Structure 1
């Protein structure tokens, strides 16, 4: 089974702290080894020189027939075997070994015939010095590593905190809050050094301001065009009503009505784009509301109530959402079209070719057409915008056996402060 690491393990702060720790440990280990080798080499060298000096004195005394000094003797007990063999072969040498549980520096050389003259020098003090040095190196390395990690983590956290703030603002902008800005302290004060995070924050703020300006210009243009069209369309509609009956008149009235609908849709889009829509909330029965929407659409849509529910919502906006979904099912799909109420979830399904791939991937796009086919106009865009105003979630998908499926999930609100009510199946 593959284990997934926790999310915090992939953060920049953790990675930086681990890198700093590894580098500090490696540096401390390298310095510790160098100091240990240098001090040990010097300490062992001094002890070796002392032992060889005493061995020379002992050899001179032995050759002169004088008594040997304390610590010197022939074929001494405890003399390491390798050193004994070296001396018996006619060479001099030294070696550190334990003697009666104490570290000892041995020096040995040939005496006469096969006997070996050896000198033992106490090495306990030097061994304690090296052990103390190793402990000091270990503790100092641990303290230095800990202090460096704390300072490095503090410095990295300051940077990552600014990066997190920048990422949060970017997410707010992508969610539609074009007023969001990073306003990094370094970008507000040009006299301070401008690091890479400040450059990213300044670029994001500049991009958001530019995007906001362009969108506001587009919204103003859309609203102005729609408003300017309303007056001549009203006159055109009145003039069309005065035309004599006939097929040409019906065509003119039909096109005028379509143009008026498009103008009203553009005005509604511009209002939704401003984000200043206000809700008129009331408790509504979803089953009854769905029935009214289908009857008002004049389409052959079957209403299926699995479980009715009462929700606090804006009736006009909810009817607009469901009406657009039903109209889209009949305009771009094939019958039968079914509107299903299952608690706070309302589903509209047809049995046509389903939604196109671009719509499933990116959501409704205004007047988007695919491959020369007929586009979805503004109906689904308005439905999605009104659903967001209601705090609902509108999802688009395709059924496995064919057909487009629009799923609207409404927030359940307790009526009169009591528990949310869901009626039995119809």
Structure 2
């Protein structure tokens, strides 16, 4: 259930409880007041009737001696004082009633009583109950839409904060909630989310700048090492040194490429090229044993072409193929169909955290996926975004990692 409906339901329930409580209290107070007034009226009328009876021996209108309907509590008063009692019985149009009674003389003398009919007042009380019930329903009907509207405003503000947090979680560190209406807890949450995004952005920019600075500083000495290694005489040890220096050079070049992608300094040079031919050439340049399958094209149809940067497309495909051989297992197959390129190996597959969070630098995900710097997939993903393509990483149901590249039409 959406938050606004929960808030509206809570507000309506609270209003119902308050209205019911007020109605019960008003009914009880009014009923008690009616009874007190009726008993006081009966008491005063009895006082006047007793005075007349003692002076003249006659009964005033409404006064009775030992009436048959007198409540049992007043039939045998033990003293000569006046007493009152409530009788809830209804006889025709009379009742409930308030009675007042007093003996006219000694202990065995008759009891003079006076009855006050409370029916009109109780009828008014019932009308008051109905009026309060109707008024409560009308107020509830008017308050519920207002509660829904107010809760909707709160829900929209919270949804705005949630959407911003989702964009930040997806990697958009420039997303901000901005000022929200009202100075309340929602505004505090929005400000906190924006501060978090600022902090993450500063930290990420610092890390990216550090990576770029390290790569730039290492480029010259690594180039010198490579030149010096090439001057070494042939031998197993010398060949190992040259291989390690080349690995170091490749690492520095990868870091530089990532830093340029992070800085937005890369710009694709697009051209319309045959997708199958570009993919086949990229796979061939890796020198790795990889099966390439291009969907059959009818003789009368032209080969599938895409408008993209062929150099960056080759970079993506070669990185995916090298990653499949390094971290997966043979056979490695590349298939091209339409605007889609699929690279699949038959190894342990991508680790769960990589599928959940995406590739991370210097993180291969699992020991069984072999060694490496964890930069190949990061570069492939960055180049795919630059080309406006979608790179999806999955695991096949029967085992193995599957990388699917979908180029824009």
Alignment TM class, shorter chain as reference: 0.7 to 0.9
Q: Unaligned regions of 5+ residues in structure 1, if any?
A: 1-5, 111-115, 187-192, 414-426
8 Å contact from structure 2 (residues 270, 310) kept in 1 = yes
Kindly state the Cα deviation for residue 194 of structure 1 after the two structures are TM-superposed: 6.7
- 1:284-312 deviation line (CA, Å, top 9, x unaligned): 55444433332232222112346886655
What residue number does 2:108 align with? Answer: none
Alpha-carbon shift at residue 134 of structure 1 (Å): 1.4
**d(CA) in 2 for partners of 1:104, 1:68:** 22
Equivalent residues of 1:328, 1:376 under 8 A apart: no
1:271 is aligned, of 242, 260, 267, to 260
| Residue 165 of structure 2 corresponds to residue 170 of structure 1 | yes
Residue 95 in structure 1 maps to residue 87 in structure 2: yes
Residue 176 of structure 2 corresponds to residue 181 of structure 1: yes
Seen in structure 2, the aligned counterparts of structure 1 residues 357 and 84 have a Cα distance that, compared at 3 Å, is: closer
Shift of 1:378: 0.8
The answer (yes or no) to whether the contact 2:64–2:112 under 8 Å persists in 1 is yes
Counterpart check, 1:35 vs 2:26: yes
Which residue is equivalent to 1:396? 393
How many residues align? The count is 390
Q: Residue 212 of structure 2 corresponds to which residue in structure 1?
A: 223
Closer, same or farther: CA 275–125 of 1 in aligned 2, 3 Å: farther
What secondary structure, in the 3-state scheme, does the structure 2 residue paired with 1:329 have?
helix
Once residues 84 and 236 of structure 2 are traced to their aligned partners in structure 1, the CA distance between those partners, rounded to angstroms, is 128
Distance apart, 1:216 and its partner CA: 1.8
Residues 325 and 84 of structure 1: CA distance in aligned 2, closer, same or farther (over 3 Å)? same
Q: Choose 19-28 or 55-64, whichever is displaced more.
A: 55-64
Residue in 1 aligned with 2:291? Answer: 302
Asked if the contact 1:55–1:107 (Cα under 8 Å) also holds between the matched residues in 2, the reply is: no
Aligned to 2:105: none
The offset of 1:268, in angstroms, is 1.3
Q: Deviations over 1:156-199 (max 9, x none)?
A: 6665554443333333322333333344369xxxxxx9754444
Which residue in the other structure is 2:319 paired with?
324
Structure 1, residues 349-397: CA drift from partner, whole Å, max 9, x if none? 2222333444344332222254595245311111222233344443334
Secondary structure of the equivalent of 1:347?
A: strand
User: Which ranges in structure 2 are unaligned for 5 or more consecutive residues?
Assistant: 78-82, 103-110, 298-303
Give the 3-state SS of the residue equivalent to 1:374 in structure 2.
coil
Q: Is the 8 A contact 1:73 1:117 kept in 2?
A: yes
2:293–2:334 CA contact under 8 A, matched in 1: yes
8 A contact 2:173–2:197 mirrored in 1: yes
TM-score (norm 1): 0.71
Provide the C-alpha distance between the structure 2 equivalents of 1:106 and 1:226, rounded to a whole number of angstroms: 102
Q: Output one character per residue of 1:36-76: Cα deviation in whole Å (capped at 9) or x when no partner.
A: 10101211343455567778999999999968957989999
Confirm or deny that 1:352 pairs with 2:347.
yes
Deviation at 1:326, TM superposition (A): 0.9
1:99-110 map, 5 Å: 100=92, 105=97
Deviation of 1:322 (Å): 1.9
Pick closer, same or farther for the CA change 1:329–1:43 going to 2, 3 Å.
same
**Secondary structure of 2:333's partner?**
strand
Q: Distance in 2 between matches of 1:93 and 1:245?
A: 125
Counterpart mapping for 1:237-276 below 5 A:
237-238=226-227, 240-241=229-230, 247=236, 250-275=239-264
Contact 1:96–1:105 (Cα < 8 Å) also in 2? yes
Q: Which residue of 1 aligns with 2:371?
A: 374
2:301 corresponds to: none
Cα distance change, pair 284–58 in 1 and its aligned pair in 2 (3 A): farther
Q: Quick check: 308-317 or 33-42, which moved more?
A: 308-317
TM-score by length of 2: 0.73
**C-alpha RMSD of matched pairs (Å):** 4.5
SS of corresponding position for 1:364: coil
In structure 2, C-alpha distance between the alignment counterparts of 1:354 and 1:338, rounded to whole Å: 14
